[in-house]
């Protein structure tokens, strides 16, 4: 019998672990194999870098679940999946839960298996682990001075994985890779461990090849075996609330008449680098630890792309034109992030020098160990300083702390439970 249910691949893990990079690479691989692919992003707020990047970079259908994690917004997750099915009838849906979320086996995987098995085929739960961060946690007993509750969340995420991916392995020496692999095998006995680099196509293809096999489809017995029955939800809530969250968007404006196009375009890249460098330095001087900061700068055409719905029934001429526009957009993206262990260093996913200031829009997502008000003060100060000689107009900015997690479902030992545990 021909399988019509879409494969649902969920990749969890801490903030900055590389989940978005992994899933965008996976989408490109699956698309090249002739499969229809969709992505679902997730965050506690709105104006997400991940959503915009996925729409610009992959060209696939994208939906987002905002204002809470998948577990607390389970009905929104189902609506996002249904919307994607209506739009493109995907073979594979790649979903990325917010990086502060855990307890996915009990609140997402098991509800899908028990209540929606006839609609979806969830794969076993992959947890992406930031290799350098894990090494620092093991060697030093903390996450670069992040609060103990945050370290608790980081560890519990690892414990519920059916498959553990040691990402950023290219940043680790061979002996450290072996150490982490053996440590994880001892910490989570019987759980497969795969060192990888999400930016490398062959590394992601190996993960996909394993995950798409029927033997790696999620099963109730495995989900129950890795379920976090003893998770302390009060401590989990403290960990999420410990961080200040900030999402902002706006436009760039040149402070002087446009000169040569190459020079002006180069200034946008310089602005992005200066913004992140000055923000990192300012937070470091204040003794504030960065969990993850992401910046995307793109042409204004990205906004139109985000408002459109991909249609797999496009006629050839329209599909070819859309592909051409997508390629042009990809060639003019700037995407960078800051992530620990301390000191946080800028990591570049795209650094185009072909974007002009007056056509540029930007998105900034920051998660830092401080209050939202303090974080907002630092971000506004750096934006107002006009790094790189460009003026950043803020169109929308929200700074907040997440509410305590209250999952719609939580399947505990032998029972299903509605609402918070």
pLDDT at 417: 58
pLDDT at 307: 59
pLDDT of res. 324 = 56
pLDDT of the residue at 329: 74
209-243 confidence digits (pLDDT tens): 999 888 788 999 999 999 999 999 999 999 999 99
pLDDT < 50 regions, the chain: 1, 258-262, 310, 312-319, 321, 420
Determine the pLDDT at residue 317. 45
Tell me what pLDDT residue 306 has. Answer: 60
3-state secondary structure the chain: CCCCCCEEEEEEECCCCCHHHHHHHHHHHHHHCCCCEEEEEECCCCCCHHHHHHHHHHCCEEEEECCCCCCCCHHHHHHHHHHHHHHHCCCEEEECCCCCCCCHHHHHHHHHHHHCCCCCEEECCEEEEEHHHHHHHHHHCCCCCCCHHHHHHHHHHHHCCCEEEEECHHHCCHHHHHHHHHHHHHHCCCCCEEECCCCCHHHHHHHHHHHCCHHHECCHHHHHHCCCCCCCHHHHHHHHHHCEEEEEEEEEEECCCCCCHHHHHHHHHHHHHHHHHHHHHHHHHCCCCEEEEEEEEEECHHHHHHHCCCCCCCCHHHHHHHHHHHHHHHCCCEEEEEECCCCCEEEEEEECCCCCHHHEEEEEEEEECCCHHHHHHHHHHHHHCCHHHEEEEEEEEEEECCCCCCCCEEEECCEEEECCC
Output the pTM of the full model: 0.91
pLDDT (0 to 100) of residue 1: 45
């Amino acid at each position: 019998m021909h399988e019509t249910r879409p494969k649902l691949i969920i990749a969890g893990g801490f903030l900055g672990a590389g989940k978005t990079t992994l899933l965008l690479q996976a989408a490109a691989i699956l698309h090249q194999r002739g499969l229809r692919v969709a992505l679902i992003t997730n965050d506690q707020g709105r104006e997400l870098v991940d959503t915009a990047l996925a729409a610009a970079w992959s060209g696939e259908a994208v939906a987002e679940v905002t204002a809470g994690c998948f577990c607390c917004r389970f009905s929104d997750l189902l609506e996002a999946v249904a919307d994607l099915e209506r739009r493109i009838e995907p073979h594979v849906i790649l979903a990325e839960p917010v990086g502060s979320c855990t307890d996915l086996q009990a609140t997402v995987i098991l509800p899908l298996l028990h209540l929606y098995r006839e609609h979806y085929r969830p794969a076993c739960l992959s947890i992406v682990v930031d290799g350098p961060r894990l090494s620092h946690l093991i060697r030093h007993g903390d996450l670069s001075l992040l609060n103990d509750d945050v370290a608790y969340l980081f560890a519990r995420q690892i414990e519920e994985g059916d498959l553990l991916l040691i990402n950023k392995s290219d940043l680790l020496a061979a002996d450290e890779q072996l150490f982490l692999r053996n440590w994880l095998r001892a910490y989570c006995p019987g759980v497969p461990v795969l060192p990888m680099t999400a930016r490398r196509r062959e590394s992601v293809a190996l993960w996909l090849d394993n995950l798409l096999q029927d033997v790696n489809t999620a099963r109730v017995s495995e989900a129950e075996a890795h379920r976090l029955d003893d998770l302390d939800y009060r401590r989990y809530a403290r960990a999420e609330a410990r961080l200040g969250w900030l999402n902002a968007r706006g436009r760039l404006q040149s402070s002087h008449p446009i000169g040569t196009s190459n020079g002006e375009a180069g200034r946008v890249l310089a602005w992005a680098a200066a913004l992140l460098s000055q923000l990192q330095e300012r937070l470091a001087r204040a003794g504030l630890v960065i969990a993850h900061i992401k910046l995307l700068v793109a042409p204004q055409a990205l906004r139109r792309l985000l408002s459109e719905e991909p249609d797999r029934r496009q006629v050839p001429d329209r599909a070819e034109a859309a592909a051409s526009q997508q390629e042009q957009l990809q060639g003019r993206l700037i995407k960078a992030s800051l992530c620990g262990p301390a000191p946080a260093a800028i990591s570049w996913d795209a650094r185009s020098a072909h974007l002009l200031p007056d056509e540029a829009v930007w998105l900034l997502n920051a998660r830092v160990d401080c209050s939202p008000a303090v974080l907002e003060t630092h971000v506004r100060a750096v934006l107002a300083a006009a790094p790189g000689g460009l003026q950043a107009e803020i169109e929308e900015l929200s700074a907040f702390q997440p509410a305590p997690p209250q999952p719609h479902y939580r399947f505990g030992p032998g029972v299903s439970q509605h609402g918070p545990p």
